[in-house]
Amino acid sequence: MEKIYEMSGKVVLITGGSRGLGHSMALGFAAQGANVAIVSRKLDSCEQTAEEVRALGVEAFPYAAHVGHWDEIDPMVEAVMAHFGRIDVLVNNAGMSPLYPSLDAITEDLFDKVIGVNLKGPFRLSAIVGKHMQASGGGSIINISSSASVSPSPTAEPYGAAKAGLNAITRSFAWAMGPDVRVNCIMAGPFLTDISKAWDMEAFNERAARTIPMKRGGQPDEIVGAALYLASDYASFTTGAILAVDGGAH
């Protein structure tokens, strides 16, 4: 990948960084010269992605943590800071949207898990990483939201609600952290990641042809440019923004 956005020496922390959109962003930042901390629940997956990152000539730091558990977030941030000495970019990408048979069948445990990973975790991470960024002269926080936050989300109602909350704290944290730390959000549409392997692709393609101007789902690497822009100095006057990368779906 051509180095359009020079990131040499920057440290990027990506949650959910071992698969899907997080994996693509980890490699995208590494290709621009950034060192990457890769966080997800499974250490072996983080280590696999770390090897791919190192192959691009930069440093990687794999770490296993559940972002829905605040008692795991603080030690994780401390470990990344101890390893790299700084965090310049935080990408709150980790997410989950489990299936359920009906709205009345949603348990409190399922609801709490969805809110925990998609909203509670990013809130805490943004607060403590943002404080480190303010102390070191600035940084960029990028939340990965979903078009389910602004459109009806049948079969994913708790997820849509959590992502709507993520949109809201993007704007609030932009005020709270400015002017030193910029806080923005990528509102992602349907992407053909490993999760899409469980989809009925014939039905999805038919629906995409009717409802998405681009008439398809996105490829994982198609989110990378937006993340690089929001992390870079080219976005120096961009904060509190919610950028839709969804093929026009919403």
Q: Which of 63, 159, 229, 234 is catalytic?
A: 159
* Structure tokens that stand for 168 in this block: 């809201």
Question: What are the distances in angstroms from CA 41 to CA 15, 19, 37, 47?
Answer: 9, 11, 13, 12
Distances from the Cα of 201 to the Cα of 5, 94, 148, 157, angstroms: 34, 24, 19, 21
Amino acid in the structure at residue 45: S
CB 97 within 8 A of CB 23: no
Cα separation, 180 vs 136, in Å, equals: 9
Cβ atoms of residues 206 and 164 within 8 Å: no
DSSP states along 138-168: -EEEEEEEEGGGTS--TT-HHHHHHHHHHHH
Amino acid 55 reads: A
Q: Residue 165: which residues within 8 A CB-CB, separation 6 or more? A: 115, 118, 119
Q: Is 159 a catalytic site residue? A: yes
Query: So which residues are the catalytic ones?
Result: 159
